[in-house]
């Protein structure tokens, strides 16, 4: 059960540096960073450590099984970014 970034993300990129793997993209120095409205978590790389959610100042990141109902669409939006 991966973690999911929602649209409360302000792209401060703090979570990207804190991720235990390389699950969160794009990185701040990635050219794609300027073209997206938020960062995304690759559910195939996330190991559910929770580091990103605990450090997010916007509380934009949730475990997939704790996603608020009005943010449910972001599980698929996160996965889709990596397809």
Q: Which residues bind ligand SF4 (CB under 6 A)?
A: 3, 18-21, 23-24, 41, 46-52
DSSP label at 78? H
Which residues are registered as beta bridge partners of 61?
5
For the CB of residue 17, give the shortest distance to ligand SF4 in the complex, in Å: 10
CB nearer to ligand SF4: pick between 22 and 73: 22
For the CB of residue 63, give the shortest distance to ligand SF4 in the complex, in Å: 8
For the CB of residue 70, give the shortest distance to ligand SF4 in the complex, in Å: 21
Residue located via tokens 């990185």: 27
């Amino acid at each position: 059960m991966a973690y999911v970034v929602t649209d409360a993300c302000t792209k401060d990129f703090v979570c990207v540096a804190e991720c235990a793997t390389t699950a969160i993209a794009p990185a701040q120095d990635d050219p794609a960073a300027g073209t997206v409205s938020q960062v995304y978590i690759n559910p195939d790389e996330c190991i559910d450590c929770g580091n990103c959610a605990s450090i997010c100042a916007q509380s934009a990141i949730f475990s997939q099984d704790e996603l608020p109902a009005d943010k449910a669409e972001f599980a698929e939006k996160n996965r889709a970014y990596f397809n």
